[in-house]
Structure 1
């Protein structure tokens, strides 16, 4: 993602033009008359944009599939390979160790090989990892496979939303990029469902399917025009934009903005990761890192990796709990996809964080009642209701650093959850509730609205604050 690395005077040129005009866009050959507001250039939704987004989002489904795997596979793996709780905690968390390495390299990887190349390489790692897990006979090969899958999804967690954001019109960018989160939730939820019906080895083989679909689909979608501009391939930028926006769309202004902005970036020398910690970028980094810290330390992956353990300890049917969690997670994420461009990101972030806080409090209180030997049926009901609220996600990546912080937080949560849960079944959820509560305050105070702003405008408005 081409962000930061330019002077204030250059960035301020990307501000919104006060003189907006209504333009007519086409959504296919037969759909006419749809009006959207635009600054200076066309904002066209075409079949190419939709299909490219769907194919890219298959990577997000593979991401969710990997995250959701450990919960339904837990009992089968422990029985077949004789793993104890500590060994399974290593298996659950080694995914995030691989993802940390993937996240560290994701930005440079995507800049060097392109968005499509990075996604393709990531899926190769995932396929090798799933095969190793499916045919493992002992813990080391199982952990190696999980690690390889982690490396792949670490790259995908950054590249997929970046690619989608870079090819979609700004008027609908929020909804399109939210499709990535919807596919993550769908992958995780459907893995819960399928995992209750098949063995853990079969579930690992099924995990290869979305990787193959994504890998093959990459041959049929265009490269990101912003990456092409960064490589100096100006003619290809215009050709790809025309392909994405439709043959009758006027892409001259959009192409000019992208090329000019990227050329300005090239004038500034890159000083590596230290360059991010200049004063003018402090607000940007604080927002990106802060969102990741509050999301991951709020216990999201504690639930995702160990849902079966939570439901079983509460006396709730594992199958009922995972099915209910999957249905609610997928449906609520779908609602977010449709609402994000209408309501904006900020209100949905606040609702997500507040909902997670309430869910954690309710779940923690339920286990507290269980420790007091209160009614088991009531405890099971409260835990089920609590975790149905809890999975609502607030993820938003802003570069390799932010993705790295996200995966470090994910590792801390996934590795420590089993030990915290053994120490106190209620304690972890009260801790997570406190983190989510602080997250609500952070979002309300620090996070700006980005509704209907171009990527360059967002970067400009945040950087110059």
Structure 2
């Protein structure tokens, strides 16, 4: 079968990502890919993202306990200061921005699967630190260790999921990470306000253990095995993921082997990313998307949801309002795997950036009116404004930057590029969360209006810079990035 026939078959397949479909040769029409197996492996991998969500949402229910004058439900003897609060929220990002430079090379050395499994060590150790903490520095250490786990997951998980998926479902599987992250956030939002501090730590501790047990039985990426010269292991992995016989997966194995051999022959460095026009464009797109993801203020919202609602005086219990937002995040994130391979990444990102700016302008306007006068007539506004913001974020700028990252780079520079992009994300995440309290002290509306401006810039970045990858194979994406005409 020629490459032109193959590209035509994949490109023009009109199959739902949840149907048993997709193929790489004529014979697969008689023995179709069992897509459900790909989703099982992707879901197992994304249990690590659920643990990431626990870390991101942790400060929202715990912060009020640590700041309360009554310290009976706090591990500390005295309430934390605003400076302590800022560091507890932001220090996670420092660990997350350093970890990719370890996780990326490790993924090439020991495999995507084992690096993902090792991320649970950080989450478990961090939970233990939170349990035994009696001073602020121990909490800070725990949050820093959580950050390392977050960085490991968010560097390697997109690589793993991108490499196990077929072209037809890569957008859907790549979008699952956001769904599991917000599910993990909702988990701590819903439990945290109603259980003791110590009980919450036990609830967080059990998640990485469950992930280890489930993901241990999933296969390694066939691309990793091919890169190590373990062809039989790669074939076994493909057979598990595709649910096809050995004869059928040989065609796809040949394609993977060719891509990996070409990449290994041209093993990339950071210089290769900068010098190669296609890699350079991919880096601008990927780093730009995660940069605007953070500059939209998402971590401020996630880390401080309860405090935001307390300051808004909406009349609704802040814990209940936070849970509502968490439920909205989960529900809207569930849409992306369904629509990502139908509407396309670019259209969804444009919609996301536009309506995020609308929600943030509305929220900022409420706090401005509250600061200069009586906002009681607008007390209804903060909840729908944050709901709108979270819906469009969770559909677009939450999951899709990571899905795009997983498919933008060739294998020879993928680990390096993933490390750079993940560190860019968390460097900006640290800056935003660390200095948000300073902006908030001047007036919350300043912060939310500034985030809205960044969302407007993000809209035009997507419109003019980001390329559509819907329905394209990894090789077709590389051809377009490098300006090659399709066959």
Change (3 A) 1:15 1:153: farther
What is the Cα deviation at residue 418 of structure 1?
A: 1.5
Does structure 1 conserve the Cα–Cα contact (< 8 Å) formed by 2:100 and 2:152? Answer: yes
Equivalent residue number for residue 88 of structure 1: 85
8 A contact 1:73–1:199 mirrored in 2: no
Instruction: Tell me the equivalent position of 2:227.
Output: 230
In the alignment, structure 2 segments of 5+ residues that lack a partner are: 69-73, 406-417
- What is the CA distance between 1:18 and its match in structure 2? 5.6
Residue-by-residue CA offset, 1:247-301 (whole Å, 9 max, x unaligned): 337112211111111101111143x323221141221111011101111011011
Distance 1:128 1:23, change over 3 A: same
Change (3 A) 1:69 1:14: farther
Alignment map for 1:259-278 (pairs within 5 Å) = 259-270=257-268, 272-278=269-275
Residues in 2 aligned to 1:133 and 1:417: alpha-carbon distance in whole angstroms:
24
Match of 2:477 in 1: 458
- In structure 2, do the counterparts of structure 1 residues 134 and 296 end up closer, same or farther at CA, with 3 Å as the change threshold? same
SS at match of 2:254: helix
CA 1:376–1:109 in structure 2 vs 1: closer, same or farther (change >3 Å)? Answer: farther
State yes or no: 1:328 paired with 2:328. Answer: yes
Aligned residue in 1 for 2:97: 100
- What is the aligned partner in structure 2 of residue 5 from structure 1? none
- Say whether the 8 Å CA contact 2:21–2:34 is kept in structure 1: no
Q: Who is 1:8 aligned against?
A: none
Partner of 2:64: 75
Q: What corresponds to 2:293 in structure 1?
A: 295
Aligned residues: 447
Question: Which residue of 1 is the match for residue 440 of structure 2?
Answer: 421
> Distance between the aligned counterparts of 2:372 and 2:388, measured in 1?
24
**1:367-386 to 2 correspondence within 5 Å?**
367-378=367-378, 380-386=379-385
Q: Within 5 Å, give how 1:193-212 maps onto structure 2.
A: 193-212=190-209
- How many angstroms does 1:40 deviate by? 6.8
Please tell me whether the aligned partners of residues 50 and 184 of structure 2 are also in contact (alpha carbons under 8 angstroms). Answer: yes
- Equivalent pair of 1:91/1:143 in contact (CA under 8 Å): yes
Aligned residue number for residue 124 of structure 1? 121
Aligned residue among 417, 422, 426 for 1:407: 426
| CA–CA distance in structure 2, aligned partners of residues 457 and 96 of structure 1 | 34
CA contact (8 A) 1:193 1:323 kept: yes
- Provide the C-alpha distance between the structure 2 equivalents of 1:330 and 1:155, rounded to a whole number of angstroms: 23
SS at match of 2:111: helix
Determine if contact 1:23/1:38 at 8 Å carries over to the other structure: no
- Structure 1 residues 279, 268: closer, same or farther in 2, change over 3 A? closer
Distance 1:156 1:327 in 2: 23
Unaligned 5+ residue runs, structure 1? Answer: 1-12
Structure 1 position 199, deviation (Å): 2.5
- 1:374 Cα deviation from its structure 2 partner: 2.1
Partner of 1:45: 34
What residue number does 1:430 align with?
449
The equivalent of 1:366 in structure 2 is: 366
State the alpha-carbon separation in 2 of the partners of residues 233 and 415 from structure 1.
Answer: 46
Once residues 109 and 230 of structure 1 are traced to their aligned partners in structure 2, the CA distance between those partners, rounded to angstroms, is 14
TM-score, length-scaled by structure 1: 0.90
1:446 aligns with 2:465: yes
Task: Tell me how far apart the structure 1 counterparts of residues 214 and 157 of structure 2 sit (CA, whole Å).
Answer: 13
The aligned residue for residue 255 of structure 1 is 253
Q: Closer, same or farther in 2 for the Cα pair 1:186/1:17, shift >3 Å?
A: same
* Contact 1:24 1:36 (8 Å CA) reproduced: no
Offset of residue 458 of structure 1: 2.1
CA root-mean-square deviation: 2.5
Distance 1:34 1:406, change over 3 A: closer
Q: Partners in 2 of 1:407 and 1:235 — Cα distance?
A: 38
Equivalent residue, structure 2, for 1:134: 131
CA distance in 1, matches of 2:313, 2:14: 57
Deviations along 1:421-451, one digit per CA (max 9) or x if unpaired, are 1111110000000000100111111111111
| 1:118-143 CA-partner distances (Å, limit 9, x unpaired) | 01111111110111112211111111
Alignment check: 8 A CA contact 1:45 1:169 kept:
no
